[in-house]
Structure 1
Amino acid sequence: MKNYILLFLFFTISAHAQINRFFYEYKFIPDSNNKTDVKNEMMYLDINKNGSNYYSRDKYVSDSTNLVEMNKQIRSFSGSINVNRKEKPGTVSFKVTKTYPDFTTYLFRNISSDRYKIKEDQKPEWKILPEKQKIGEYNAQKATTSFGGREWVAWFSTDIPFQDGPYKFYGLPGLIVKIEDTTGSHIMTLVGNKTLPESAEEKELELPQNIRVFGVGGKELEVTEDQFRKAWKAYVNDPTKNMREMMMGNTDNNKITFKVKTQDGKEISDPNQAFREMEKRMKESLAKNNNPIEPDLVK
């Protein structure tokens, strides 16, 4: 999805209840020690009369496909449920919502099987600069802000009459068509758009009752940023805690079993050994994802 044709050059939120979907190419470097490994993900910014949602296309498609498959297995339950991700799962798991007109902003992030709803208590404070340039098809103007532990450079266009943008960014006199941090680690660029009927809006995924899958759904906990930081630190120190609690807390007749393969292909079925292997992998993954979009949130 590199070359998008801008399908609509005029944007309205009318009584006909439309969704204005903007496509952003999100390039980011997860590991600050390996700057050649640049990830690329397509993000949606869906705007309607009530607010906006910013989320990964790949993750939504993958979760939707897997939820349909899980529901099929539950309806014909035979003692086990196999979650096999057939679609590209997506690298970006967070979602950001904003509610108009006050731009109340929430970040949704998963930790293990739990989902956190984190209210943003600060708004971006912009310095609008006179510099202008063309970004794609749009005339854009430069603005800067310090937010989340990074310095950001944004380009906004008054050609698009929304004071919104990707992630938690908003408040400029036009849509943000490009924004990047000054290290070049996170870059979000508008590459296309289209309008949709409101009925086409992506709905929040819900798992069947009593089913928990890591990274999909899960109980939602509304917390402050400080509470999230505390939960994140606990997870970093013990990333398999929730998995162990799920295993120990299972009182149903159907015993939960799982198998793990080591990097050399050896299969591990002993629970204690499997947890040790999973903990090792998860800590290695955390170490390689040391360059988050918002460092202040996980410090």
Structure 2
Amino acid sequence: MKKLFSIFFIALFAFASAQDKDSKETANRFFYELTFKPKKDSAKLEKVMSVLDIVKDRSIYRDYTVIAQDSILKIQLEMMQKSGVFKDLSKSIRMPKFSEKIVKTYPDMKIQYIERIASGFSPLAIGYNETIKFDWKISNEKEKIGAYNAQKATVEFGGKKWTAWFSSDLPFQDGPYKFSGLPGLIVKIEDEGKNYSWVLQGNKKIPNWEELSYMEKVSNMSLKVTDMPREKFEKTFNDFKKDPFATARPMMTQEIMSKTIPGMDGTIGDMMKKQEKMYKDFFNANDNPIEPPYEKLKVGKVEKVGKAD
């Protein structure tokens, strides 16, 4: 039963990111409000806070939702550990809008794109590597974006035309998502169709920064990334999205599926169905990706994205 407790606890946080080795550094954290159109044929827009953490040798971009709830989840988990009673945390937490983590290494700005899937009952981080040569066109046009003096630049990426505003007041040649390479931090960037728009909302220093959150540590999600060519990565991840429990289901006997966990409504089988629905709802919520699948990427002014080093 203890093992089953761990299985479903891990499942709740399968979208979180992790690294294999903890590090305690000082990070510059930049908060970007991302406004996006989740459905291609809808005018409805959604918003989420994302963060770009910049440390000495790299930056990490991800959805801020799970990180922001870390202290609350820590309290709830400690209460569960003391009582020995499982609690369905999905009832009290907000799930992120985006599951990817993007790591850029300095100074070469190589990109590692990471997602997490399930391998049996264990989380597995998979990723692909690429180097993108953004052919920025910097104009003389300047504008005040928030508190920063910014300058305009344009680029083509992922089949879209993008307009960015960067500030040399922030001496980082980086930005949200995969964007980088301007002489200053990107404080705003959006595509021509306004499908995706990031705007810098603030920043702060994080002393003793660690890439792993508390919940990731206790969930034993500190795994190495299995790198693969982008085409294989997308196939592997798409297979997971179609059937999130494909590798775990053969291990679940009818006897196990009919058992209950103290504090949980229904059986383990019910919990699996709920988790599966959570996954599918998450993945089906957005059919308007930032960039197209590997096979549809075009060679333009940007080096073909997805070409692994």
- TM-score of the aligned structures, taking structure 2 as reference length: 0.69
Q: Name the SS for the 2:216 alignment partner.
A: coil
Segments of 5+ residues of structure 1 without an aligned counterpart are 1-16, 212-216, 261-266
Residue 66 of structure 1 and its aligned partner are, at CA, apart by 3.1
Q: Name the SS for the 1:227 alignment partner.
A: helix
Question: Structure 1 residues 137 and 232 mapped into 2: Cα distance closer, same or farther (>3 Å)?
Answer: same
Deviates more, 1:230-239 or 1:19-28: 230-239
- Correspondence for 2:200 among 167, 190, 212: 190
The residue that corresponds to 1:57 in the other structure is 64
Counterpart CA distance in 1 for 2:57 and 2:245 is 38
- Correspondence for 1:289 among 268, 286, 291: 286
Q: Name the SS for the 1:206 alignment partner.
A: helix
Residue 27 of structure 1 and its aligned partner are, at CA, apart by 0.8
Q: Does 1:35 align with 2:40?
A: no
Residue 175 of structure 1 and its aligned partner are, at CA, apart by 0.7
The higher relative CO (CA closer than 8 Å, separation ≥ 6) is in 2
**Identical-residue share of aligned pairs (%):** 34
Counterpart CA distance in 2 for 1:96 and 1:201 is 16
Segments of 5+ residues of structure 2 without an aligned counterpart are 1-24, 297-309
* Matching of residues 148-297 of structure 1 within 5 Å: 148-197=158-207, 199-201=208-210, 203-204=212-213, 205-208=215-218, 217=221, 220-224=224-228, 225-242=230-247, 244-245=249-250, 247-248=252-253, 255=259, 271=269, 275=273, 283=280, 286-296=283-293
Residue 24 of structure 1 and its aligned partner are, at CA, apart by 0.8
Counterpart CA distance in 1 for 2:115 and 2:53 is 18
- TM-score of the aligned structures, taking structure 1 as reference length: 0.72
Residue 259 of structure 1 and its aligned partner are, at CA, apart by 12
What RMSD, in angstroms, separates the aligned Cα atoms of the two structures?
3.8
Q: Tell me if the contact between 2:88 and 2:263 (Cα under 8 Å) persists in the aligned partners.
A: no
Q: Tell me if the contact between 1:29 and 1:39 (Cα under 8 Å) persists in the aligned partners.
A: yes
Counterpart CA distance in 1 for 2:95 and 2:271 is 27
Q: Tell me if the contact between 2:164 and 2:190 (Cα under 8 Å) persists in the aligned partners.
A: yes
CA deviations on 1:39-83 (whole Å, 9 max, x unpaired) are 1111222222222222222221335543553354345535x5643
Q: Name the SS for the 2:51 alignment partner.
A: strand
Residue 249 of structure 1 and its aligned partner are, at CA, apart by 11
- How many pairs align? 266
The residue that corresponds to 2:134 in the other structure is 125
